[in-house]
Structure formats: C-alpha cells, structure tokens
Chains A and B, each alone.
Chain A
Amino acid sequence: MGKRLKATESLKRLIKNYYDEYFSWAKEGKPTAWLNVGVPCEVFYAMDVFPFYPENYGAMCGAQKVTPELSQIAEYQGFTNDICSYARANIGSLLSKKGPVGELPIPTIQVETTNSCIMIMTWWRAVEKLFNVPTFVIDAPLVKMDSEGHHLDYMEMELKRMIDFIEEKTGNKFDKDRFTEIVKISNEGKRLWAEILELRANVPCPMNAGDIFTHMFPMVALRGTPPYVEHLKFLRDELKERITNRDFPVPHEKVRLLWDNLPIWFDLRLFDELEQYGIIFVIDTYTQAWGPRFMGIVDEENPIRSFGYYLGSGFLNVQIERRWQLMQDLIKEYKVDGVVFHSDRSCKPYSLVQPELSKLIRDNLSVPSLIIESDHNDQSGYDRNRVIERIKEFSQMIEMGRK
C-alpha cells in the first residue's frame, strides 16, 4: 500500500526551492506577483517577476490541516465561513502572519483571471484592499465550448493589457525573444505532462491519484523553467519503468475509478488506503485542467493569442457540454468502471453541475457514479471512515454487477 515514487523526493526539493526563492526575491525587493492558476506564469518568468500561486499555498494549508484555525482569524475580520476554504486559509494566514511557511511576503502585484470562479476575483480584491497591492483582473467571460471570434480577440487584448500593467507596476520590460524561449520550455513540459496522463491509462495503472495530485505542482507554478522539464522527464521515465517492470500500486485492480473535482488535500492518503481493496483512481478531471485539452501547446509564432485561447477555454470557464464530453472521453480512454464525484462545498463552479453530470452518465452510459460530500481544504465535519465505506460499497456494487 502507498508505494512511493522516487520522483516524490525530487518534487519535495523543487517545492522547497520554489518557496525559498519566493522568500528571497521578496526580501531582496525584487518584483513578485500573486497569480491564480488560470494566469500564465510564463509571462512572469519572462519578465523577471516571481510568480506565486496562493491556491497552491492554500492546498499546503489544507494538507497541514491548518485551514480551520486560519479561517477563524478571517471570520473575526468579517469574512464569512462559507466562502471557499482556500480564500479563508489564505486571508487568515495573511492577517495572522502565520501558516505552514510562516509569514508570507506580500507581493508587489497581483493578477487574476475570472476563468475559474467569481470567488477568486473577490479573494484577490480582499488582498488588494487589505495590503494595498496593485491588482489586475483578466476578464475572461464564461464560454460554452471554447474561446473563438470576438471572445478570443478580447482574451488576446486582455493579456496585452496585463503585460502593460506588469510593465507599469514593476518597471520590468517584456522581451519577446526571452518569452519565446520560455514558451518553448513550457511546451516541452506540457508534452511530458500529456505523456504522464496517458501512461495512467495503462492497465494496471502505474500511478495513483494521490501522486498525480501532488505532482501537479510543477505544472501549476514552474512552467517554462528548466527544473520543471527535468522533473517531468524523471516522473515520466519512472512511470515507464514501472510499466516495464510490472511494478504497480495495485497489481490486481478490481475497480478503476474516475475522480471528479479537487482532491481532499488534507486526506490524500485516502487513495493509498483504498488500494488494499483493489480500488484505484486511474484518472481525474482536475489534473486535466493542465493537460492538452485545456492547457495545450502554445503556438510559438503567436503566443499571446494562443495563451488567450487556453485562458478563455480554461477547464472551469467552459459549460456543462464540454465537461460532459471530457467525462465520456476519460471513461473510455481510461477504461473506467465508475465515477466518484467529490461534491466540494467550497467550489461552486466545479460542484454545482455534478448532479446533472451524474444524471447524464446514468442515462447515457452503463457506468455508475457516486457523489460524496466534503471540502477540498477544510477538514471540519469530514468523516473519513464514512467516505471510505461509501467508496468501498460503491466498488463492491460495481464488482457484483460484473458477476
């Protein structure tokens, strides 16, 4: 149970270096930026502005189970306890100057895009107002399937405005050649990530869900940097090795499941625990957000427009038709036996379509689904045994159905 990847050790170093670097940039007074995951970090690396992702930091708060106490601090200042737990943890941490890595430096600027939720825009606004941080919102109106026509033109314009904003606020200039180099590196890593996701389709699956969620980090924060490519190569090769050596987390898979929504960051071990029953989550929709379908290869000839396309067609910026398409594709490609919807009370845009998706699956495919309730980042009220029992029962039902 819980067979660890060698790549996890190098990942820990990568994360540590990233946080160390953020702290030292801030200490030296070099420009730093807080971005939400929809904002392309490649532009910031190209402009020598250190990109930091508070959602990643939020996940760290979740993993270390400090969200409830940080939330209380935010609540005391008037932020309500039913907003996204990432936001509560982050705001609480800033107000108390406490958290998993101590006092978090306030960034020089913030950029966010509305391509995931409205929540995030108000979260960034909170930091803007609390600490006077100049903030730019990339307006990304919600699309049906993808960004095209005047929507795409608008996305391109918004990104150009963002570059003007960064130049104005940090004094750093945008250098097209440097940017192109970084885009090339970013694309190289994206190809590797696509390979990694594809390797998971192998039967048996070479990597469980807990590991893929952990290894998302370089895709989120390091795109365009050499260590990101190195790490993803290492991970890809290790998975290939596992397949060659037939060294699988669950050698005798009984049930192959799909996970929908963010993981439960404070209980990634849930996935390890389920392995002993022959249950493995072979794919999820969350890491697809950085995969070729939603964050594909950027056109090196026309990178800004291309980034605009992926930003405008981001995973949470499309409607149910595209989510349904993805679900069907993944079920087929990964030979999925059942779908588990994590109904995440913090994340409305991800969760509120799940009952309808579950209905579509029931009416159109011969694959069962299960909805479990939790929160991705706040363990209050989480009943681990019940979640495990429900997934076990669900899996048994799938097995029985086969007999």
Chain B
Amino acid sequence: MDYLGFLNEIAKSRKVIGYFDTYFPEEFAYAMGLHPVRIMSDDEEPVRANEFLQGFCCPYAKNILEQALKKKLNFLSAAIFTRYCDSLRGVYEVWKSEKLSPVVEFIRYSQVVRETAKDYLSLEFKDVFNRVKKALGCDYDYDSLKYAISKVNKKRKALQRLYSMRKEGKLNISSEDFYKTVFSSTWKPIDEFLKSCEALFLRNNSVNVNFDDKKVVLSATELDNLNFFKLLDEIGFFIVSDDIASGTRYVKDFVSEEGDTLDDLIENIALRYIMKPPCSVKDPSDRRIDELIEEVKTSGAKGVIFFRTRFCDSEGIEYAFIKRRLETEKIPHLYIESDHRLSNYQQLRTRLEAFYEQIVGI
C-alpha cells in the first residue's frame, strides 16, 4: 500500500499527527499513543496554494500546503510545526488560518545549536505537548516516554546499520529502494519498519558489491521525490551516503535513555534535537559540512551532488561554503537546482549525465 493509503488506513485505529521537518520530537507522539508522520512532497502542481503563497515561496513547502488544501491530508488529527524556515512558517500561518487540520500547533523552537537552549526548549516541549494532550485526549508519563525513546533509538540504530551496510558494499539495492526504505522510517509504525529492515539485513548479509567508481554522496535539505533517486540509478550513480535532513541528519544521534524523572527524559530529548546534525536553518551549521566531507571520505565517494530546492534561502547561502570546502578538499561536485516535482527533468538529466562522465568516465 502506498504512503497515503497506508496512513488513511492507520488513521482508522490511531490518531495521526503530521510534522514537517525532522526537528519534531516524535518521541512525545509515540509516548501518547499517537502515530507521527513526516509529511512528504508529492507531484501535485500548485494551484490552490497559489492563492495563499506567492511564487517566491519554496515549492516544496508550497506543495505540502497544496496537499492539505486538496484535502489529501484529512487523516491528520493534528499538524505540528516547528520554527524551521521562512517558507514553512508561511505554510503554518495559512494552515492555521484555514484550519486545515483539527489541531494546529507550533513549537517555538530555538534556532541555535547550543546547550544553553536546553532548559528553554524542555519547557516549550512540555507546554506544547500539554496542549496536544488536552486537545487529543491522550497522555504520557515517565514510563511511556522512556519506552518511546528506546523505540525511536532502535529505529535510528537500524537506520544506522542500513547506512553502514551501504557503505561497506553489503546492501545491493538500488538508490531508489534504499531511500524508499529510509524515508519510510518517518511514516511507518516503528515495529513494521524494523521488520522490513531485518528482512533487508538477512537478504543482503553475504552480499559484497563493489560500486567504487559510481559512488557519490548526495547533499540537500528536503529531497524525498523517489523519481530523483530513480534517475540517479538510471544514469548509473550509486548513492552511498547522504547529507539530507531526512537521511543521515535524521538518523544520527540518540536521545539518552538515562534519567529518573520525567523532566530528565524531556531534557534528554531537548538536548538531542538541539545538538543533532544541523540543517542550514540552524546555527552554527559547521557540523553539517564537516560530516558531509567525512561521509565522502569514509565512503570512498567520487563526488558530491548538491541539490537545492529553488527559493530555499538558507541553502542559497550554505551552498557557497559547501562549494568552497569541497573545492579545498578537491572533491568534485555538481550543483543542481529544481523543485520537488523535478520540473526541469531533462535539463537535470543532461547535467547529471555529464557529471557522471566527468567522475566515472564512460
């Protein structure tokens, strides 16, 4: 069953809450018996969303709104936004004004990667999830939160294993299938996701493939259109690792399971989300660039493909520094710009093919 069909089905037995970036602390949702889902882009052309958001809004963000306006996300009991970027902020304002889900919440998120934000963010999480508790008639306590933390950690552990197998040449699946699995971790129930990982581990345990020549690392913020990965497969690339918000930046770092009180656990969650590998909308973002370089080096990738969604401000600045760093490290890279629908598909294909020839040879 596809992603939306699956979620509509799940919504019959459990309240589903939608989030839009990977700073959302999903542990709280699981602790309350809710099913958290990262809303992904689809191929809807913006029509209704154009009434609410101008042409210079990031198309990815606009697409999320389009889906809601077209009532495709009616299975959501709540939508919870964080302060992420200025385009998603615009989506949030419209979502709230147009009442696109029964509950619309906003986490007044900190923007800095500094431990000093921990106490503030812990209090903010408490406030927001207290309101969610009341609105949706659910609750969480020390035990349920501890259990949820360990569950999400298990999911991240399984994802980390998938990534290491990929790097070691032990996961002989296409990039499209790899990312289909990775992205499903943000919408499938955890147990189901873990089961599908187990099956993959078993199937591929003895495989040893050598994709050395074709290995590249992908860098982006939001990039969940599987057609893009399919295109990379068709050209011949092997995406060995990434620096994507819902890829390695989602997978790395666990929430500490230590602590005797509910407050301890909440602080652990706050700390993980503040200190996790940062997106360019957070500051400082150095860890992101450092780890991108590390991914390239440890995976033996031949180059980097940097994908920027048009009108994404933070990536529009960050790229200048990623470019410099890659040039200093003598790592070949390709900058491409598009939208979630890949509307310049042919041009992308030509440029990617040329890059393939450059790094792999014909």
Contact = CB atoms under 8 A, between A and B. Distances in A.
Interface of A: 77-80, 82-84, 87, 114, 117-119, 121-123, 125-126, 129, 137, 139, 141-144, 149-151, 153-154, 157, 161, 319-320, 343, 345, 348-349, 351-356, 360, 373
B330 interface: no
Contacts of A354: 54
Interface stretch (B31-39, B257-265, B293-301, B315-323): B315-323
Given A139-B117, A319-B93, A360-B97, 17 more contacts: A78-B321, A80-B319, A82-B310, A117-B86, A118-B313, A122-B318, A139-B111, A142-B89, A150-B123, A154-B120, A320-B93, A345-B56, A351-B54, A352-B53, A355-B52, A355-B53, A356-B97
Nearest to A116: B86
A348 B110 contact: no
A80 B124 CA distance: 34
Contacts of A137: 111-112, 283
B201 interface: no
B130 to A, nearest CB: 13
Contacts of A352: 53-54, 57, 86-87, 89-90, 93
B96 interface: yes
Contacts of B89: 142, 348-349, 352
A352 B89 CA distance: 8
B124 A126 contact: no
For chain B, give the interface size range.
35 or more
B284 A125 contact: yes
B142 interface: no
A74 B333 CA distance: 19
A150 B112 contact: no
B144 interface: no
A52 B321 CA distance: 25
B161 interface: no
Contacts of A82: 56, 310-311, 313, 316
Contacts, number: 140
A79 B316 contact: yes
A352 B86 CA distance: 9
Contact of B86 (A151, A153, A349, A355): A349
Contacts of A83: 313, 316-317
Contacts of A144: 106
Top-10 shortest CB links A-B: A352-B90, A78-B320, A80-B316, A348-B86, A141-B108, A122-B317, A154-B120, A150-B123, A83-B316, A345-B56
A228 to B, nearest CB: 31
Contacts of B110: 139, 141
A387 to B, nearest CB: 16
B304 to A, nearest CB: 14
A251 B185 CA distance: 66
Interface in B66-117: 83-87, 89-90, 93-94, 96-98, 106, 108-112, 114, 116-117
B184 interface: no
A12 to B, nearest CB: 33
Contact of B96 (A79, A114, A154, A320): A320
